[in-house]
Structure 1
Amino acid sequence: MSHRDGPAGSRDRESTEPIRVGVVGAGAAGAAAAYALRDAGATVTIVEKSGGVCGRAATRRREGCRYDHGANYVKDDDELAASLIPELGTEGLVDIEEPVWTFDADGEVAEGHGDDGRKWTWSEGITQLAKRLLARTDAAVHRRTRVEAIDRAGGTWHLTDTDGADYGPFDVVLLTPPAPQTADLLGATDWDDDRLEPLIDAVDAVSYRTIRTLVLHYPFRESYPWYGLVNVDKDHAVGWLSREECKSGHVPDGESLLVVQMSPAWSEAHYDDPLDDAAAAAADHAADLLGDDRYRDPDWVDDQGWRYALPESGAETEPLRAVEAAGLYVAGDWVAGEGRVAAALRNGYEAGERIRGEQAGE
Structure 2
Amino acid sequence: MTTIGIVGAGAAAAAATYVLDTAVPDAEITVFEKSGGLCGRAATRRNDDRNLVYDYGANYLKSDDERVVELVTETLSDEGMVDATEPIHTFEADGEVEPGRDADEHKWSYRMGLTQIAKRLFGGTDATVHRRTRVETIRREQGNGDGTDGDEKWSLVDADGTEWGPFDVLLCNPPAPQTAELLADAEWESPVREALRAAAADVPYRSVWTAVLHYEFSLDRPYYGLVNTDKAHAVGWISREECKAGHVPDGESLLVVQAGGEWSTAHYDDDPRENVAALADHAADLVGGDRLADPDWTDHQGWRYAIPEDGVKRGPVDSAADEGFYVLGDWVVGEGRLHAALANGLDTGERVAHRL
Deviation at 1:83, TM superposition (A): 1.3
Q: Could you tell me how far apart the structure 2 residues matched to 1:79 and 1:314 are? A: 21
Deviations 1:129-154 (A, max 9, x none): 10011111111000000000011112
What residue is the counterpart of 1:209 in the other structure? 206
Residue 184 of structure 2 corresponds to residue 184 of structure 1: no
* 2:137/2:185 contact within 8 Å kept: yes
Q: Measure, in 1, the Cα distance between the counterparts of 2:186 and 2:249.
A: 48
SS in structure 1 of the partner of residue 21 of structure 2: coil
CA displacement at 1:112 relative to structure 2: 3.3
* Map of 2:30 onto structure 1: 45
> Tell me, what secondary structure is at the counterpart of 1:189?
coil
Paired letter, 1:259: V
Q: State whether structure 2 residue 345 is matched by structure 1 residue 348.
A: yes
Alignment of 1:168-183 (within 5 A): 168-183=165-180
Cα distance in 1 for residues equivalent to 2:101 and 2:135: 44
Match of 1:193 among 190, 193, 196: 190
Secondary structure at the aligned position of 1:74 is classed as coil
Unaligned runs of 5+ in 2: 143-151
Can you give the 5+ residue segments of structure 1 that lack an aligned partner in the other structure?
1-16
Alignment TM-score, normalising by the size of structure 2: 0.95
Note if contact 1:99-1:112 (Cα within 8 Å) is conserved in structure 2: no
Query: SS where residue 348 of structure 1 aligns?
Result: helix
Mean Cα displacement is larger for which, 65-74 or 264-273? 264-273
Aligned pairs for 1:254-265 (under 5 A) are 254-265=251-262
Determine whether 1:148 maps to 2:136: yes
What's the CA shift for 1:115?
4.2
For 2:229 and 2:191, how far apart are their aligned partners in 1? 44
1:35 to 18, 32, 36: 18
Q: Distance in 2 between matches of 1:113 and 1:269?
A: 28
Aligned to 1:26: 9
Q: Which residue of 2 aligns with 1:266?
A: 263
The one-letter amino acid of 1:30's match is: A
Structure 1 contact 75–81 (Cα < 8 Å) conserved:
no
Q: RMSD of the alignment, in Å?
A: 0.9
Q: Which runs of 4+ in 1 moved over 4 A?
A: none
* Distance of 2:179 and 2:101 partners within structure 1: 37
Contact 2:86 2:103 in 1 (8 A): no
Superposition TM-score, scaled by structure 1 size? 0.93
Q: Distance in 1 between matches of 2:39 and 2:91?
A: 30
Question: Any idea what SS the aligned residue of 2:136 has?
Answer: strand
Q: Which amino acid aligns with 2:63?
A: D
Aligned to 1:123: 111
